[in-house]
Amino acid sequence: MTNLEWLLQGDPVVNRLTRKYLLDELVHDLSEGFIDQYLQRYDNETKTWGNGYYGPKWTSTNYTLLDLRYMEIDPQHPIYQESLINYLNHYFKKYIDKQGIAVMDQCITGMFVKLLSYGNVHDHRMQTMINYLLDVSMSDGGWNCLWNHSSLPTISSVHTTINVLEGLDEYVKRGYTYRTDEVTNAIHRAVDMLLSRHLLFIRNTQRPIHPSFLDHHFPPRWKYDYLRILEFLAQIKYPYHPNMQPALDVLVNHFKAGKLTKGTMISGRIHFQLENEKYGRFNTFRGYRVLKQYAPELFQRMMHETY
């Protein structure tokens, strides 16, 4: 069996993502497999998952919607739409309408923009969030959730930055027009900042920002790691830059017989175990997506290896 065949034998979600992004096939939306298992856990009365909005982690509405977004649920699915709008209404009513947008965590703002954009939601509160993200970026080009904390940080957080980047990219990709030129410029500035750190390093050093960034996690939740940023750059087809190479080397070194492990699980509640084997189809798919963009010959060789 080849590694490609192994991927295709996975859950319908993995099969579809593989055919769409690795084989460039035309595929249809689906609500089978993992997507259906998530939908079965939806509470129609509260319009939430996990009996909560942002918490408990990771069974809450926020993180379930992020998983469904990655698995590419039909963005117009009634449960996706209903739960998202309910979450948005709750968040603004409880926090923003009373205290102002500055109390909103920038990671959550980025997640909201991503989820709303994916669902093609047009709501004036989207513009409020776009204004907020554009207005409070750090001088180095990224974002930091502690931007208005008494400690007054002067550099960006890579965690915050990747969440915002994913949201802003989804916003542009889905055809929104409000301040789009500024959003695009903000994306480029943030990517430049991450590349200046070679995607992994403390500024002006060759030391990893954190050891966990050298491991891969799926789902990544709110956290940054080498594979999450590489997948983002591959997804937007960012041209190869030499400063990507340390992260690409980490990726290649993690492959064993053309597969990636399912990685270290980020502790917390989960709806169910996505993968039980040592090697993970989601992470292997993600790694191949990166190699397809930045090392296409290696991608082809690994994908067709037999084991």
Average pLDDT, the chain: 97
pLDDT tens for 20-60 read 999 999 999 999 999 999 999 999 999 999 999 999 999 99
The model's pTM is: 0.97
Does the pLDDT of residue 81 top 80, yes or no? yes
* AA letter at 156: S
pLDDT tens for 179-236 read 999 999 999 999 999 999 999 998 888 899 999 999 999 999 999 999 999 999 999 9
Does the pLDDT of residue 115 top 80, yes or no? yes
How far, in Å, CA of 121 to CA of 190, rounded?
25
Q: CA angle, 171 as apex, 286 and 268 as ends, to 5°?
A: 50
Query: Nearest-CA neighbor of 103 among 112, 111, 94, 116?
Result: 94
Q: CA angle, 59 as apex, 57 and 63 as ends, to 5°?
A: 75
pLDDT score at 218: 97
151 C-beta neighbours (distance < 10 Å), count:
7
Query: Nearest-CA neighbor of 174 among 126, 106, 241?
Result: 126
